Amino acid sequence: MGKHTSELLSTLSSSSSRVQNFIINEILDPRLSTPRSAKMAGDIAFIAVIAFACLRPRPKARPTMKLVSQEFLHIKSPIAIPLHEISLIELKNHEMFMSDENHK
């Protein structure tokens, strides 16, 4: 994986099997410490899900800023899966945290 954000975005927009194998840890800044709790790992995964929703190709399919801010206000349950086991394609395609009203 390249170090530049545009490389990540172009890679994610492709449907190659290479993308399916990326793990969320591979895009996190390696200078940051590993999340110490399931809540912290869940927060990171949640932010990634929202980020992918904001990058949808069709602008009308993207969440509004109001919806994003409401999502941040809701209390999220910790996830049971460690970050090193969550692939980017799972986060991109599976809206595991966002409310149903986002998917209209």
Copy the structure tokens of residue 11. 């890679």
Q: What is the mean pLDDT of residues 56-62?
A: 89
Structure confidence at residue 78 (pLDDT): 74
Three-class SS of 11-75:
HHHCCCHHHHCCEHHHCCCCCCCCCCCHHHHHHHHHHHHHHHHHCCCCHHHCCCHHHHHHHHHCC
- Give the tokens for residue 80: 């049971």
* The pLDDT of residue 51: 86
pLDDT in tens, 10-26: 666 655 556 567 788 88
pLDDT tier for residue 36 given thresholds of 50, 70 and 90: confident
Q: Beta-carbon neighbour count of residue 42 at 10 Å? A: 20
pLDDT for the residue 94: 62
Position 100 scores a pLDDT of 44
The confidence band for 72, taking pLDDT boundaries of 50, 70 and 90, is: confident
Query: How many Cα atoms occupy the beta-carbon half-sphere of 73 within 13 Å?
Result: 6
Average pLDDT score over the chain: 76
Domains of the chain, residue spans: 5-103
Residue 30: pLDDT over 90: no
Asked if pLDDT for residue 45 goes beyond 80, the answer is: yes
